[in-house]
Amino acid sequence: MPTRRRRDRAGLLSTSVAGDSRHPERAAVAALSDSFVAGLLEWIRIPSIGVDPGHHADVRRSAEWLAGRLRADGWPEVEVWDDGPALPAVFACWPAADPQAPTVLVYGHHDVQPVDPVERWQHPPFEPVISGDEVLGRGASDDKGQVAMHLLAVKAHLEATGQNAPSVTVKLFIEGEEESGSPHLRKLLEDHGNALGCDLVVFTDTSLHERDAPTVNTGQRGVLGGEIMFFGGTDDVHSGRAGGAIPNPATALAKLVAALHDDEGRIQVDGFYDDVREPTAREREDYAALPFDEASWLANNGGGARKTFGEPGYSTFERLWVRPTAEVNGLHSGYTGPGLKTIIPASATAKISFRLVPDQRPEKVREQLEQFVAKHTPDGIRAEVSFRGTGVPPYAISPDQPANATVREALELAFDQPVRFARAGGSGPAAVLQALLGVPLVYLGATLPDDRVHAPNERVVVPLLLKGAEAAAHLWRMLAQAEIAKRLTDEPV
């Protein structure tokens, strides 16, 4: 295939295809790449930190920026939903010329994480810079880059097909609270259910396995987090006057934490694995075929850990993607300052979180943890268990689901190589979207696990975003094909 390399006005290398009628989407993406990068840089400059009330005005400004860009691109229906307690979300719709064509809803978010510790950034986080083929700045990967990628995809699709409207009705729903746990997402979906009605959800907040090993994500783990507190007396007491004569809540809590796993990492909460859905043989084959270098993975993802560890019988990817976890996120009790203070602390606290897999439910795991704590609370200790919210359910879709298979085919066209299925170890609102909208949800993103999201020096690889835009442009054309459209709308959720 004849290709030519060029350096665009932003200084980024991109690839365009000359004289190949099979890739009009690729040529259209390449032609639009300059304005795409310029727009992304402009959007990143808005510090839309949703978790910080001091930046809520910036979240509104970010929503208005996105709405303005959509109107400039020709989207006929654009709204900023700024009603009630939720931070502003953006909705847009571009109807297909054919009223019988499927309707696809693209989900993403425009709020970003805080930038602390700011001194670790190599450049100001909201003054994005270009380094080689990367854009660096807060939100470049998570999730402004991928939302902008889908805007580019619609433009490229129209350019490639010569149409005035997309082949499928495309809707966008870009919320402003994902980094806060989407606390008002259910209400937004309920209040705007008619506008959001669709046949398929495409979830953008996802990544590829590696730059040279593209994947389609088929699920995310759920999460439930909370605290366990043990109380002894009402005050810290002198260990010389009461030590050995009263229970120590720190010791008692340490024993509970130690009892949470066996020596091989299996979780010892009664009934915890009862509802766990095993991956299919096909999924395990795909995971095993993905490249994995333990030393490299530990260096980039393990926080300096010296070796991998986990439940026997499962690979590292399987432990990350399809097995549940129970993690102690923090322990605190008594005196932790310099020197020595000989006390028996009045209380001890453990912060704990679970990552859940299909078909586990947060409410059931909550009950199981409460029973586990009751079982491991000794006489003379009072226990309290509290939870942060109701938790996030897990989500997974079969690799054989028609829309999912079509996403993989679209990515293979864009990347010119085989694409395998994978899952994500983190959590997001996919299950909520799928349950309340009642349609299948698939993933299409083009970022990388080592993009340093939620950390200093976040980056995104622009050529991958361009590949993602090309894949989405292919997808809109492919989903409109009669056989795929029928299978999509007839397939049970």
What digits encode the pLDDT tens for the residues 320-334? 999 999 999 999 999
Cα distances (angstroms) measured from residue 259 to each of 210, 230, 323, 377, 444: 37, 15, 19, 12, 40
pLDDT of res. 23: 81
Cα distances (angstroms) measured from residue 89 to each of 86, 107, 153, 185: 8, 11, 21, 10
pLDDT of res. 134: 98
pLDDT of res. 21: 53
Q: Is residue 17 very low, low, confident or very high in pLDDT (cuts 50, 70, 90)? A: very low
Quickly name the fold that domain 3-220+395-490 has.
Aminopeptidase (3.40.630)
Domain parsing of the chain, residue ranges: 3-220+395-490, 223-276+324-387
Using the 8-state DSSP alphabet, how is residue 112 labeled?
B
What digits encode the pLDDT tens for the residues 256-279? 999 999 999 999 999 999 999 999
Q: Is residue 2 very low, low, confident or very high in pLDDT (cuts 50, 70, 90)? A: very low
Residue 427 has pLDDT above 70, yes or no: yes
Residue 11 has pLDDT above 70, yes or no: no
pLDDT of res. 490: 60
- 3 state SS of 481: coil
| Phi (first) and psi of residue 115, to 5 degrees | -105, 0
Residue 233 has pLDDT above 50, yes or no: yes
Q: Is residue 84 very low, low, confident or very high in pLDDT (cuts 50, 70, 90)? A: confident
Encoded tokens for 292: 């994995």
Contact between 468 and 416 under an 8 Å Cβ cutoff? The reply is: no
For residues 71-95, give the mean pLDDT: 96
pTM: 0.88
pLDDT of res. 139: 98
Task: Tell me how many degrees the CA angle 207-209-214 measures, rounded to the nearest 5.
Answer: 90
What digits encode the pLDDT tens for the residues 433-450? 999 999 999 999 999 998
CATH architecture of structural domain 223-276+324-387:
2-Layer Sandwich (3.30)
Cα distances (angstroms) measured from residue 256 to each of 146, 266, 331, 352: 42, 15, 12, 12
For residues 83-103, give the mean pLDDT: 94
Considering the chain, what is the average pLDDT of its residues?
92
Amino acid at 27: A
pLDDT of res. 10: 39
Contact between 40 and 21 under an 8 Å Cβ cutoff? The reply is: no
What digits encode the pLDDT tens for the residues 477-491? 999 985 666 666 565
For residues 134-149, give the mean pLDDT: 98
For residues 457-473, give the mean pLDDT: 98
Q: CB-side exposure of 335: number of CA atoms within 13 Å?
A: 13
Residue 365 has pLDDT above 90, yes or no: yes
Which residue has 């085989």 as its token pair? 418
Beta strand ranges found along 221-320 (DSSP E): 222-231, 237-238
What digits encode the pLDDT tens for the residues 276-299? 999 999 999 999 999 999 998 898
